[in-house]
Amino acid sequence: MRKLISLVLILLTPLMVFAARPKVALVLSGGGARGISQIPIIKELESRGIYPDIVTGTSIGALIGGLYSSGYSALEIEEIVKQEDLSDIIFNLQIEEQNLDRPYSNYDRSLISLSISDHGIGLNNSLLDDSKVEALIKRKLSKVLDIKSFDDLSIPFRCVGTDFVTGEAIVFSTNLYDSLRSSMSLPLVFSPNQLKDGRYVVDGGLADNLPASIAREMGADIIIAIDVNDSVRANATEPYYLETLSGVAKQLIILISMGSVRSEHQLSDYLMIPDTGDISVIDFTSVDEILHVGEAFVSENKALFDQIEEELKGYLPLEKPLAYDERPYLYIDEIQLPTLLKKYEKLFIPFKERVFDEAYIAELSTVLFKLKQRENFKSISYNVADGILAIDVKRYEERILNATIGLSADFSFRNDYLFFDPGVTLTSSYYIKGSKLTGKIRIGSINLLAFEYSYPLDKMLDLSFALEGGFGAYAKDSLISVKNHKPSQGGSISLLTTFTSNFTNKERLDITLKGELTKIDLFSSTPSIWYFGSGISYSSRSNIHSIDLLLQAGFNGNLCYEMKADTALNLDRFILSFKLRAIRGNESLASSYDVDLFSTLAKDRLSAELSYKLFTNKYWNLSIGCFFDLNDCGNTTSLIPFAALSDIVVGPKLSLDIKLLDTIDVSFIAALSNDKKLSIGMYVR
């Protein structure tokens, strides 16, 4: 009998030892950009062989935790936040997509736009568009998007969202993309994420910003929690902190999530609080600085890590989770399309029977972007399960009157030439079975009333008809100089028919027919100028090049035409650009001339510029270069382009370009010509 008992004890000993090993949980808090400081702390734990058995997180902590639980190492997550342009991905403004130039029409780029309907203000329920966030998450987690339970990830995982109706916490354990997107949905910033059961979910930080209790419910014996907000709360006691608007805003965000955090602190065995007091929740441009905050915490708190290591002595190193790279890619056998997309079925044929990798996702994102713009979908997304790619779309409600108010401004100043064109635009659109009727009123240097009807002829070809009436600065005088400027009271009426083909979201071809009647001064006896013609334009954009080609030709009693070519190559720190202009029109009209850096009017111009970026980042760059310009000073009478080029201008040029948000570009330029003319200019567009 004793031998039997001894044998049983020997057999059970390994199981008893295994059961005795404490379960370690890693709990990651929300906090926007501050959450990046958690990565060096995870990296330090890894270096000591401490790999968690459980991961829970909220908001940015959910995103980092989702990546970590899927098999990414802390170093790999660090590389992601460094290489991806997080600021551009997150702060993707909810504005109407900018159209590329087309014949006879320059797009109006709104600095601010706001939609008004009979349901309220704003057709979108957020300030930011989440499409780039979705693309990032799905691109980086493509191998695990179809996992049914988070317990099947490399590390069991949970994240938290907040029911936007009841305020209750929702703990996610399935559907990785929906879970992460829900946990990050800060109200007003990102739209609430709607689940299949109809519930709207917003940022988990409103209900539980440090989900230690969830880790305990999952069986954690040792909880290592990282709170990236507690040091910010401490700053609120400093003099003058709450005397500023920014200080009050920061503290309000902290207080909203503060209720549950204190109790979660008490549940944590090891609480780590990096000093993020000087970091804003939206400061995604300072990734290196935020990582340094985490590294500084590690350096200053070695004893705390030693304590964890001591408690786990005898069990280290813990079992390393399955790496993300070791997982196979998913394979797509079938595409599931909603009724609204059945007519585009051929577009999705190339996506069948393919590996679902990053190249696949990039191609798919391009197609979905085009369809969203073309069909005016409120959103278009997809899910992957059991080899099936299911596309999901949401439309704006057709009964809504969509009226958009846009504010725009063009400002140019150089030498004695001043151009300032602020504008307010009111646009109203109706969508009827794929077709679109738009009315537009613009108030600016040229006041415009326009109506346009567009109809899809094919999957990527649109036909539109437009009627436009304008009043304002049509005369050549509006281009000459601020000193000689005369108020312009011209007017025009025009009819346009346009065929538009969008090859990709950054490549477009337009063919337009136009008839127009213009009078330079409506209140004088000056004769009217009529015009009939057609034009074709092509535009293409990529990370390294831009191409704009335009050719317009017609009659106004004489032959008229305009040729325009703008190309630019962005080769690392060098920028090479070429411009070509050839314009023949009525010499009394401003549209018949081009204006150079030195306020010279020209009908023909050839120019080239080579610049070198001295200092550059994603928001601004300072460059120095040289330019060459050959023009006719507006004196040519020949119809042959470039037959009378005479004025050669060469010289150095210094430029400072600043990008504000996604809609405003500010440029400061200083140039010196070969005849010692100095041009100093500022441009806001």
Cα–Cα distance for residue pair 464/512, rounded to 1 Å: 9
Tell how strand 157-163 and strand 120-121 pair up. Answer: unpaired
Q: Which residues contact 109 (CB under 8 A, 6 or more apart)?
A: 98, 408, 663, 685
The structure's pTM equals: 0.69
Q: Of 182, 189, 176, 177, whose CA–CA distance to 162 is shortest?
A: 182
Strand partners, 311: none
- Dihedral through CA 499, CA 504, CA 505, CA 511, nearest 10? -20
* Fold classification of 24-92+143-326 (topology level): Cytosolic phospholipase A2 catalytic domain (3.40.1090)
CATH code of the region 331-395: 3.10.20
Annotate 77-112 with DSSP letters as a single string.
HHHHHHHS-HHHHH--B--PPPPPPBTTB-----SE
The pLDDT value recorded for residue 44 is: 95
Q: Exposed, middle or buried, 622 (CB in 10 Å: 0-12/13-18/19+)?
A: middle
The pLDDT value recorded for residue 310 is: 93
Q: Of 78, 89, 264, 72, whose CA–CA distance to 160 is shortest?
A: 264
Along the chain (685 residues), what's the average pLDDT of each consecutive run of 10 residues?
Answer: 51 49 94 92 95 95 95 95 83 48 51 55 63 86 92 95 90 91 80 83 88 94 91 53 57 59 86 88 86 95 94 92 94 92 88 91 85 77 90 70 60 55 73 78 81 80 88 72 56 87 70 88 82 88 79 88 88 85 86 78 89 76 87 83 84 79 64 74 60
Q: Of 46, 12, 50, 68, whose CA–CA distance to 315 is shortest?
A: 50
**Phi, psi for residue 56 in degrees, rounded to 5:** -130, 155
The pLDDT value recorded for residue 171 is: 94
Cα–Cα distance for residue pair 228/35, rounded to 1 Å: 6
Domain segments of the chain: what residues? 24-92+143-326, 331-395
Strand partners, 494: 468, 516
Active-site positions read 59, 203
Strand partners, 576: 569, 610
Q: Which residues contact 527 (CB under 8 A, 6 or more apart)?
A: 519
Distance from the Cα of residue 84 to its chain's centroid: 12
Cα–Cα distance for residue pair 147/322, rounded to 1 Å: 15
Q: Residue 43: what residue type?
A: K
Cα–Cα distance for residue pair 220/151, rounded to 1 Å: 14
In the chain, count H helices and then E strands: 14, 33
The pLDDT value recorded for residue 402 is: 60
Annotate 144-182 with DSSP letters as a single string.
GTT-S-GGGSSS-EEEEEEETTT--EEEE-S-HHHHHHH
